[in-house]
Amino acid sequence: MRLRFSTLDVFTNTRFAGNPLAVVLGADGLDSATMQTIACEFNLSETVFVLEPRDSINTARLRIFTPLRELPFAGHPTIGAAILLATQRAPEMLTRNGIVIALEEEIGLVRCDVVRDASRAILARFTAPRLPVRGAWSPEPAPLAKALGLESEEIGFGRHAPSTFSAGVELVFVPIRSRAALDRARPDPAAFAALLGERIGAYLYTSETVEPASAVAARMFANGVGIGEDPATGAAAAAFAGVAHAFEAPEDGEHEFVIEQGYAMGRPSRIILGSRIEAGALVAVTVAGHAVEVQRGDLDL
């Protein structure tokens, strides 16, 4: 069996930045074990497999794998696959009115709007399939600091305290007092894994950014998925809308800001996070970003 694949750099419009993604096309003949093996071979934070949709009205069905496990939902595979499918199937529509890509993921249907923007780069935006939900566990700063190689006083700023949120996968959100501390964080593998348990990672964030246009700088240290640090994490960004709502109490209306991630890895990424607040409640979350194709090839199985 020979299958086509592409790799893209996601949450960037520059090659060799952002979060690399492998997209395997026409994967209907593969079983789960083979998909997992291929994802391990690519050894990227995620590999996405494109299948025929269960409902013909939709564009495609996706299955998303890290090197060690399948995920029900992830942001950078969603953005990257939507942009690749849009450019392959209807490139002429991107410049005119854009195109809607409807993706069946394990979490449910994810709708992506794909368009070529004013800079000629291709941007995709999706509405999070689930609103962020706060977890029951509120981690204490001291054990978090120890697991992350930081001091307790470097955890927390303003009204922000450690929390857990999920928009499909649960993560620990850790506010960091300064960018210097964020850059210095180095998880202790044993302590980190023991503290997080089944949660797939810790998302560290600070209001001190590299780029003036960014609102938040972040790092995501993964747990139990086969990678150490993720250059850009769309699912975490979707859940972060819950963090912002809980600790910032934004007023009613539409809000949008940029999260920068991956700078400490030399893979600068920019995630555009949007939210809508009505009567004080968070009612919608969007995640947007660019992607650029890097290479194409064949898998011989």
Residue 245, amino acid: H
Measure the CA–CA gap between 184 and 264, rounded to whole angstroms: 9
Strand-pair category, 108-116 with 99-105: antiparallel
Measure the CA–CA gap between 279 and 283, rounded to whole angstroms: 9
**In terms of Cα–Cα distance, which of 124, 125, 157, 165 is closest to 141?**
157
Handedness of CA 51, 239, 241, 235 (dihedral sign): negative
Which one is catalytic: 41, 46, 92, 211? Answer: 46
Measure the CA–CA gap between 218 and 216, rounded to whole angstroms: 6
Residues 6+ apart with CB under 8 A from 120: none
Annotation marks residue 151 as catalytic: no
Tokens, residue 237: 């960004």
Residues 6+ apart with CB under 8 A from 125: 112, 113, 272, 274, 286, 287, 288
Measure the CA–CA gap between 215 and 57, rounded to whole angstroms: 38
Tell the residue number behind the tokens 């794998």, with chain if given. 65
CA atoms within 13 A on the CB side of 168: 25
Q: Which residues are catalytic?
A: 46
